[in-house]
C-alpha cells in the first residue's frame, strides 16, 4: 500500500489548530528555532530490515499479521514509515536474510519510496543451509584457518551486495567468544579476529567504511572476543581510517556511562554510529527511549557538543540506525515510536545553552550545570518535532496517523494474517 499526499494533508489539517497553538508556545522561548527546525528536518534514522517483523524470544514467537514476506515488502514498510515521519529514508540490509536477488529492481523500488541503502550487515553467527564449516566455535576468531576464511569470504560477499545497492559501509557483529574459562586463548582469538578483519578491510571500496560492533555477552557467557568498546577501538585503530566503533545502546553492562564512551570515540574520530534501542536488563532491543530517555538525551548532548566542536555535519557524519526486536508490539508502530524518541532527544540536545554550560563548568558551578541540562531535557519539544515533520510533508502524529489510516489492517488484507518475516 502507498500513502497519498492528500491523505496526510487531510489528517494534518484536522490537527493544525491545536498544533499551531502548542508550537507557538514552545517556539517563543527558543532563540535558535530556525536552526533547530532545519537540523531536525534533515535528520534521518535508518531502519534495519530485520526489525519489520516480529522477532520473538527463544521461548516463542507470536506473529502479528500482515508482516512483510519479502525484501520488497520490507522496503514497502520502510516506505510507509518514511511517508509518515519523513525521518527514515534508509534501510539497512542483513545478508543472507535479505539477499537482493535483483539489485537493480530493488534499488529502483527503494528510490520510488525515497529510500536508499544504509550499512549492510554480515552474519557469521548462524550456520546457513549449504554452509561447509560450522560457526559453533566462532567465525573470524576461529582456531581453524578454513573457518576464518569462510567467514571472511562471506563478509566480502556482503560488501559485493552492498556495492550493488550503493551502501557505503559494512557493519560486523560477531558472536565469537567462549562459554567457559580455558576454552580459548584471548590473545590468539583477538589476533585471529584482527587478521580476518584486515582481509575484509582490504576488500573495502575506497569510499566504504567498516563498523565494528561490540557486545559483552550473549550468545557466549564467559567471554566475547569483541566484548567492549576498548576491544573494538583497538581493532578499529589497528585496521585504519576506514574502521570505527559501532555503539549499540543495549550492548553495555548495567550502569555503564555510555555518553562518556560516545564522547571519547567521537573525539578520536572513531565513532561509527549507533544501533539505537533501549534496555533494562541486557540486550533487550526495546523501543528507543522507553526505559531511559534521559540517557538518550545525554548521549545526544555529547553528540551535538562534540560534532559542533569538530565542525561535523550532524545528519551525515556518522551512521544513525535502529536495532530493534519486537515481541508484542506492532513492528511499524514500534519503529515510529523509536524514531520519534530519537528526534525528541536530538531536539532537546539542540536546546542546551552551550555558552552558559561552559561558564558553569569553568566556575565549577555544579548545580547550574545540571540545571542547564535539565532545562533542555524538561522542555516539551514534541511540537518542534511535529513541525519539522509537517514542513517535510510528513504527519504531525505518525503513530496516530498509522492507526487512523488503518495501515496494519490494510497490510493484513494484502498479505494475510499469518505471515513470517525473516529476522531476529
Residue number with CB closer to Zn ion (164 or 295):
295
333, interface contact from Zn ion, ligand AOS, none, CB < 5-8 Å by kind: none
CB 274 within 8 A of CB 249: yes
Residue corresponding to grid cell 539497512: 92
Residue number with CB closer to ligand AOS (82 or 275):
275
Nearest approach in angstroms of CB 297 to ligand AOS is 22
Instruction: Give yes or no for a cis peptide into 96 (omega within 30° of 0).
Output: yes
424, interface contact from Zn ion, ligand AOS, none, CB < 5-8 Å by kind: ligand AOS
Residue number with CB closer to Zn ion (250 or 394):
250
121, interface contact from ligand AOS, Zn ion, none, CB < 5-8 Å by kind: ligand AOS
CB 398 within 8 A of CB 340: yes
Nearest approach in angstroms of CB 309 to ligand AOS is 28
Q: In what order do the strands lie in the sheet with 90-92?
A: 47-48, 90-92, 116-117
CA distances from 398 to 7, 364, 389, 407 (A): 13, 42, 9, 11
Nearest approach in angstroms of CB 368 to Zn ion is 35
Residue number with CB closer to ligand AOS (335 or 381):
335
DSSP 304-344: HHHHHHHT--TTTSSEEEE---BSSS-HHHHHHHHHHHHHH
Distance of alpha carbon 55 from alpha carbon 327, whole angstroms: 6
Nearest approach in angstroms of CB 334 to ligand AOS is 15
Select the residue interacting with ligand AOS from 73, 323, 333, 334 (CB under 6 A).
323
Nearest approach in angstroms of CB 163 to ligand AOS is 19
50, interface contact from ligand AOS, Zn ion, none, CB < 5-8 Å by kind: ligand AOS
Residue 213 as a binder of ligand AOS (CB under 6 A): the answer is yes
Residue number with CB closer to ligand AOS (323 or 330):
323
Residue number with CB closer to ligand AOS (3 or 75):
75
Site for ligand AOS in 132-191 (CB under 6 A): 173
Type and span of the H or E element at 402: helix 398-404
Distance of alpha carbon 118 from alpha carbon 48, whole angstroms: 9
Select the residue interacting with ligand AOS from 118, 278, 283, 302 (CB under 6 A).
283
Site for ligand AOS in 70-109 (CB under 6 A): 94
Closest-approach residue to ligand AOS (CB): 173
CB 275 within 8 A of CB 247: yes
Residue number with CB closer to ligand AOS (170 or 357):
170
CB 89 within 8 A of CB 116: yes
Residue 229 as a binder of ligand AOS (CB under 6 A): the answer is no
Pick from 1, 329, 295, 274: nearest CA to 118: 274
Size of the site for ligand AOS (CB under 6 A): 12
Binding site for Zn ion (CB under 5 A): 248, 250, 275, 277, 283, 285, 323
DSSP 93-117: -BTTTT--SSHHHHHHHHHHTT-EE
- Burial tier of 151 (Cβ tally within 10 Å: 0-12, 13-18, 19+): buried
Pick from 373, 370, 332, 327: nearest CA to 350: 373
Residue number with CB closer to Zn ion (212 or 350):
212
Bridge partners, residue 48, by sequence: 92
Nearest approach in angstroms of CB 323 to ligand AOS is 5
Select the residue interacting with ligand AOS from 87, 121, 192, 224 (CB under 6 A).
121
Select the residue interacting with ligand AOS from 23, 43, 50, 208 (CB under 6 A).
50
Nearest approach in angstroms of CB 121 to ligand AOS is 5
Select the residue interacting with ligand AOS from 76, 77, 176, 248 (CB under 6 A).
248
Nearest approach in angstroms of CB 164 to Zn ion is 23
Measured at the CA of 314, the angle between CA 251 and CA 370, to 5 degrees, comes to: 70
Distance of alpha carbon 422 from alpha carbon 263, whole angstroms: 35
Q: Which residues bind ligand AOS (CB under 6 A)?
A: 50, 94, 121, 123, 173, 213, 215, 248, 275, 283, 323, 424
Amino acid at each position: 500500500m502507498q500513502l497519498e499526499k492528500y491523505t496526510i494533508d487531510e489528517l494534518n489539517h484536522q490537527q493544525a489548530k491545536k498544533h499551531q497553538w502548542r508550537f507557538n508556545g514552545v517556539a517563543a522561548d527558543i532563540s535558535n528555532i530556525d536552526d533547530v527546525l532545519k537540523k531536525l528536518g534533515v535528520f534521518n534514522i535508518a531502519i534495519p530490515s530485520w526489525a519489520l517483523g516480529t522477532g520473538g524470544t527463544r521461548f516463542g514467537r507470536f506473529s502479528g499479521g500482515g508482516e512483510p514476506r519479502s525484501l520488497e515488502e520490507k522496503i514497502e514498510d520502510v516506505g510507509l514509515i518514511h511517508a509518515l515521519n519523513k525521518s527514515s529514508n534508509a534501510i539497512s540490509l542483513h545478508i543472507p536474510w535479505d539477499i537482493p536477488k535483483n539489485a537493480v529492481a530493488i534499488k529502483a523500488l527503494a528510490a520510488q519510496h525515497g529510500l536508499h541503502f544504509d550499512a549492510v550487515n554480515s552474519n557469521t553467527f548462524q550456520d546457513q543451509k549449504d554452509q561447509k564449516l560450522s560457526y559453533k566455535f566462532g567465525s573470524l576468531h576461529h582456531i581453524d584457518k578454513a573457518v576464518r576464511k569462510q567467514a571472511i569470504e562471506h563478509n566480502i560477499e556482503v560488501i559485493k551486495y552492498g556495492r550493488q545497492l550503493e551502501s557505503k559501509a559494512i557493519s560486523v557483529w560477531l558472536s565469537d567468544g567462549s562459554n567457559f574459562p580455558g576454552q580459548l586463548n584471548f590473545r590468539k582469538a583477538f589476533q585471529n579476529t584482527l587478521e580476518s578483519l584486515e582481509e575484509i578491510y582490504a576488500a573495502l571500496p575506497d569510499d566504504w567504511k567498516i563498523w565494528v560492533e561490540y557486545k559483552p555477552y550473549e550468545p557466549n557467557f564467559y567471554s566475547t572476543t569483541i566484548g567492549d568498546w576498548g576491544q573494538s577501538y583497538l581493532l578499529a585503530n589497528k585496521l585504519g581510517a576506514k574502521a570505527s566503533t559501532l555503539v549499540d545502546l543495549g550492548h553495555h553492562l548495567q550502569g555503564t556511562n555510555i555518553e562518556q564512551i560516545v564522547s571519547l570515540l567521537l573525539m578520536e574520530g572513531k565513532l561509527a554510529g549507533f544501533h539505537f534501542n533501549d534496555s533494562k536488563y541486557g540486550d533487550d532491543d526495546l523501543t528507543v527511549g522507553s526505559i531511559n530517555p534521559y540517557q538518550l538525551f545525554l548521549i545526544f548532548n555529547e553528540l551535538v557538543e562534540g560534532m559542533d566542536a569538530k565542525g561535523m555535519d550532524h545528519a551525515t557524519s556518522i551512521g544513525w540506525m535502529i536495532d530493534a526486536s519486537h515481541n508484542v508490539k506492532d513492528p511499524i508502530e514500534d519503529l515510529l515510536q523509536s524514531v520519534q524518541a530519537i528526534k525528541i532527544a536530538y531536539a532537546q540536545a539542540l536546546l542546551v545553552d552551550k555558552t552558559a554550560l561552559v561558564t558553569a563548568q569553568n566556575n565549577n558551578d555544579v548545580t547550574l550545570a545540571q540545571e542547564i541540562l535539565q532545562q533542555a531535557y524538561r522542555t516539551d519539544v514534541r511540537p518542534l518535532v511535529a513541525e519539522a515533520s509537517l514542513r517535510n510533508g510528513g504527519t504531525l502524529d505518525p503513530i496516530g496517523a498509522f492507526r487512523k489510516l488503518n495501515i496494519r489492517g490494510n497490510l493484513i488484507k494484502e498479505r494475510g494474517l499469518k505471515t513470517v518475516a525473516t529476522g531476529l
